[in-house]
Structures are given as C-alpha cells and as structure tokens.
Amino acid sequence: MNKKLILRGFMALLLAFGLSACGTVEPWVKPYERDRLADPIMFLDANPVSTSYIQHVYEAREGARGGEGSAGGGCGCN
Amino acid sequence: MKPNRIQFYGLLLMLLVCRAAVAGVLPEDRADILYHLYDGGGVQIDGPSILVRKQVGKSVSFAANYYVDMVSSASIDVITTASPYSEERKQYSLSMDYLRGNTTMSAGYTNSTESDFDANTYNLSVSQDMFGDLTTLTLSYAYGDDVVGRSDDDSFSRDNTRQHYGMGLTQIVTRNLIASVNLEVITDEGFLNNPYRSVRYADSDNPIGYSYEPELYPHTRTTNAVGFRARYYLPWRAALQGEYRWFGDTWDIVSNTAAVTYVHPMGEWTFTGKYRFHDQTGAHFFSDLFSRSEATNFRGRDKELSPLTSHTVRVAATYEFLSEGWNFVDKGSVTLSLDYLMVDYKEFRDLTSTAPVGLEPLYSLDANVFQLFFSFWY
C-alpha cells in the first residue's frame, strides 16, 4: 500500500517535472541580479563532506533520519 | 501492462526527453581532507574523511570519498550490559554526475564495512534546473543491502534491505532569498536491531531486581521526513538560515527539529554560529524496564528510541588562503568547527546509580564534536 502510494507520488512529480518544459515562465530574478546568491556564504551546502559527517552523528544519536539533504544544484549561477 | 498505463509512461518519457532540450552546472572541482572527533557519553570516535571531485570533459564529473570511524566505546549501554570495545568502520563511495542541458543525472555506489557489518548502497538521482534556473527539482532513489553479523559468532548472519525515495526542490525566491524543501521516504526490511543490545525486565528472582534478554525489533520500518530551509542575504554581507524538519515513522517516533545559522565573513575569515533543537517521541516498543520476560511482541531499550530532547550549539571559523591561486590550485581554505551536543533522555535511565529499580535518574549525555578540514578548489 505504502509502496503504491510512493510510486504514484513519484509519477505525479515526474509528470509535473515534464510539464514544466511546455510553458515559459519569465524568471523574476534575472541572472544579473543573482550576485548575492552566488556568494559562497549563501550556499545551502557549502561543505558537503562536513555536512554528511554531522548528519551521520545526528542519525546515530537520535531516532530520526532523512529530509535534510541538499536539494539539487543550488541557484545555477556560479 | 495495461494500455492506459503504457500511454501514461509513454507521455512521461516524452515529457522527460522534452525537458532535456533546455543548461545546468556541474559541482565544482575540489578536494576536502577532514579529521573528525566525537567525544561524549563514554564514546570516542575519530578518523579522516577525504573527498575528491574532478570534472572530465564538459559534461561529466566524478567524486570519490574515503571515510573512517575508529570507535572506542564504553557507553552507558556497554558498561551496564557488556564490556568496552574498539572497532573500525571504513566507507568508500564513488559517484558520477552527467550534465545534459539543464539536467544532471547522478549515479553512485557506497560500501561500508566493519568486522561484523557490511553495507552496500546504490543510488541514482536526476536534477533539473527550470524556470530560468530559478528552480531546481531533484528526484532520487537509493537501494541498500546490509549484512549484520556478530563478532562472537561466525555463523550469525542476517540481511537488511533499505530503499530511499527522495524529492528536493530548491527555489530562488528573491535576489536575497533561496529556499529548499526535501521529502524523503525510507523503508527498511530485515534484521533491524543491534545483535548485542539487551532489554531489561523486572525479575524478583534476581538479587538486583531485574535481568536482561535480547532486543527484538519489528522487521520493517518506514520513515517519512520533510525538511524546509531558507537562507537570507543580510544587508551587511552576512547570511541567516532557518530550517525545520518534521519526521514520523511506523515505530511511532515523531520528531520536530529546527535550527538557525548565522554566517559572518570578515576579510579572509568566515565565522559561523548555529543553534539546533530536536525533540522526539519514543518507539512504541521502547521501554526502560519491561514488566516481565517477553512481556511484549517487540522490545527495545536503545536510548535513541526513547523520547528525548537535544540541543546543539556550533561555532566554526574558516580561513581562506591562496586566493590568488598557486600552481593548479585556485584557492584553499581551512575550517575548524566545534559542535556541543546535549541530549536529555525522558525515559532511559542511568543504571550506574544505586537507586531502587525503575527509579534510577534519567540519563543525559554531553558530547563534543570537532571537525578540522582543508578544502582546495582547482
């Protein structure tokens, strides 16, 4: 039941993912306005090796896991 | 396969091919050499982690990671039910990213081994930059296959399989604000308890008032987590990040985790301060003291499955050098960080004290987590 739900969720996301190609959305933050976001202090995951280590510590010391991963390639402006 | 399902998957494939026509960015070439040390609750774990990433051609990037945990444990579990021990865990990871248009496809393999544990994980993900690169959507899947053994019994071998399903969305909201949401579902099936750990139960025949028997966990677990993060660029060139995660699983553990981070650059230095809070309920089969032997179908006394609250405070400093470059190196940095972790267990008791059975003081733990790492970009 759970697996079926997960699969359906993924299929819906994939569909949304694909449909996004079929229309054009005007970016409201232009590429030349992304200088601040390109500053290393703004990286959501500036040091992957350190992040994965500390997440490993939390997973060992607590009962929860997941949902903290870095989502994709950031702002695409570097 | 039913015809309407074929049409659906055909449409999906067509849309994904259509997506590939539109340009992303591969991760930067860099090497990190990290030394880590965890010290708290009678446990010391230290070792290196080395990560090297290199782009080959214009569209492929490879990464390799070598990680070691050297464990010396005299934790509260160990000193009350067994003998202190030392062990080593080694982990190797290899991954590849392939960029085509705005799509990045990644595949990876990780192997982790200990004297009594062997784990293999295979992962795949696809990331798509869209809407003028304001949005990045990532879908990921990983399959893990573990073998659990016992150091005192060569014939003991139990299997686990693990599947991760992930979805992440990163969004540029304004020229000063970037946010992300991550959903992750993980399912486990197999031997999920620690083969050495015991639960205690009330036993009037034993002079101390209780005895121990092996843990017995359910053979399946599904966990769901959703995390939000947002980072804001402050007017004086500093960054403020807020994050929150909700977690729930089929063992009845529900947790809320929140953190706030402040990053302040000053010349060649960057200083970071962070506070993190975590609160969780306990697993339905957790008990510090069962009423009798085999009192319930499933039994656990792992303190991490107890209701608990933890607080972490981090301070870190990074110094950048070689900013003009040297040889093939573009720049380098060194970072020193300390996380101070405080955990208060709400049902797990400290059996080293001499109090009446079931009335021992609740256990708490303080730990220092040090990290020292050098990073080079080339």
| Interatomic CA distance for residues B150 and B195, integer angstroms | 7
Under a CB-based contact definition with an 8 Å cutoff, are residues B332 and B376 in contact?
A: yes
B229 touching A (Cβ < 8 Å)? yes
pLDDT at A23: 55
Place of tokens 């039994």: B299
Which stretches of chain B drop beneath a pLDDT of 70?
1-23
CB contact, 8 Å: B261 with chain A? Answer: no
pLDDT digits (tens, 9 = 90+) for B235-289: 999 999 999 999 999 999 999 999 999 999 999 999 999 999 999 999 999 999 9
- Per the structure, the count of domains in chain B is 1
Q: Which of A14, A37, A66 sits opposite B175 (nearest CB)?
A: A37
Q: Do A19 and B129 touch (CB under 8 A)?
A: no
Residue from B222, B226, B160 nearest B191 by CA:
B160
pLDDT confidence of residue B50:
96
Out of A25, A50, A64, the one facing B257 most closely (by C-beta) is A64
Contact B61, B55 (CB under 8 A): yes
**Residues spanned by the domain of B299:** 3-377
Q: How many residues does chain B have?
A: 378
Q: Residues B125, B143: contact at Cβ < 8 Å?
A: no
Tokens read off for B253: 């553990």
C-alpha to C-alpha distance for B88 and B73, rounded to whole angstroms: 11
Residue A66 and residue B223 in contact, taking contact as beta carbons nearer than 8 Å: yes
| Model pLDDT, residue B7 | 47
Quick one: pLDDT at residue B22?
39
Between residues 167 and 196 of chain B, which touch chain A (CB distance below 8 Å)?
167-170, 172, 174-176, 178, 180-187
Domain containing residue B102: CATH number: 2.40.160.40
CA distance A78 to B53: 17
Q: Looking at this predicted complex, what is its ipTM?
A: 0.89
Give me B244's structure tokens: 């929150």
**Are the C-beta atoms of residues B45 and B37 closer than 8 Å to each other?**
yes
Q: DSSP letters of B211-250?
A: EEEE-B--SEEEEEEEEEEEEEEETTTEEEEEEEEEEEET
pLDDT of residue B25: 85
pLDDT given for residue A78 in this prediction: 31
The pair of three-digit structure tokens given for residue B215, joined into one six-digit string: 């843990």
Which run of H or E residues covers position B376?
strand B362-377
CB-nearest to B18 from A18, A31, A74 is A18
**Cα(B57)–Cα(B99) distance, rounded to whole angstroms?**
11
**Pairs of residues, one from chain A and one from chain B, whose beta carbons lie less than 8 Å apart:** 236
Question: How far B18 CA sits from the closest chain A CA (Å)?
Answer: 7
- Report the predicted TM-score, pTM, of the whole model to 2 decimal places: 0.86
In angstroms, the Cα distances linking A13 to B21, B63, B323 are 19, 28, 42
DSSP string, B42-60: TEEEEEEEEEEEEEETTTE
Which residue type occupies B99? L
pLDDT of res. A15: 64
pLDDT value, residue B11: 43
Cross-strand bridge partners of residue B62:
B54, B96
Is residue B10 packed enough to be buried (19+ CB in 10 Å), middle (13-18) or exposed (0-12)?
exposed
Asked whether the beta carbons of residue A42 and residue B233 sit closer than 8 angstroms, the reply is yes
